[in-house]
Structures are given as structure tokens and as C-alpha cells.
Amino acid sequence: MKIIRKGDIALIAVILIAAACFMLWSNSKSEAPQAVITVDGEVVETVDLQSVGEKIIIEPVLGVTVAAENGEIWFEKADCEDKLCIASGRLSKHGDTAVCLPAKTAITVTGSDVDAVVY
């Protein structure tokens, strides 16, 4: 009595091919990172971080300056007292967020930079 039959090997091969196709398909759907700048909950500007090379300056609200360069975005200047938004640093990965509460301004990086999901 054999433990593994020809049908079992064929079934395993089909499952492995299906898994490889799924991995290739899911990786091809990755989105380019974009930074969404909102003021008081309303989208003011969307910046495609992949296409930003030279430094650009955005002033979403009076007293706040946002800069983007080489795929990164950050608060460069803010008139608030604590400057926590500036201390949050440069944002480049999906899910990165920086907020200037006194100015009601937020930067959120969207898109997908996930290679694989592990459960």
C-alpha cells in the first residue's frame, strides 16, 4: 500500500501552481505611495510620492509648510508652539501619518508597499 499516489502528487502540484499565480497577481496590484494632505478633514492636495524628485513646497494653510522630495513628505514649518508635527519626521511608507493639531492639518501616506502578508 502506497502512502502517496500519482493523484496526490498532481493535486499538490496544482495547489502549488495556484498559490504561485495568486502571489504574482497580488503583488502586481501594489499601488504607488501617495500623500494625502487634509485640512479640517477636507482633502487639500494629493501628492504622488513616486513622481516627486526635486523638492516641492506646499502651503495647505497659513503658517504651515509641507515639503516633499525623493519620495518623502514632511512638515517643514509650523507656527504651533510644540512643533510635534515637525518632529514626526519624513513620511514615505503606507500608513505613515503626521498631524499638526493647532492647524488642523494632517499628512497621511496611502498606497501599498506590502510584499507579502504573514499570518
Q: What are the extents of the domains in the chain?
A: 1-30, 34-110
CA 5 centroid distance within chain: 46
Mean pLDDT of 90-105: 92
At residue 103, the 3 state secondary structure works out as coil
Q: For domain 34-110, give the fold.
A: mini-chromosome maintenance (MCM) complex, domain 2 (2.60.320)
pLDDT band at 102; cut points 50, 70, 90:
very high
pLDDT higher than 80, residue 31 = no
- Within 10 angstroms of residue 39's Cβ, the number of other Cβ atoms is 16
DSSP bridge pairs for 98: 107
Q: Which residues contact 42 (CB under 8 A, 6 or more apart)?
A: none
Q: Give the count of alpha carbons within 13 A of 105, CB side only.
A: 27
Q: How much is the pTM?
A: 0.68
Residue with cell 492647524: 103
pLDDT higher than 80, residue 92 = yes
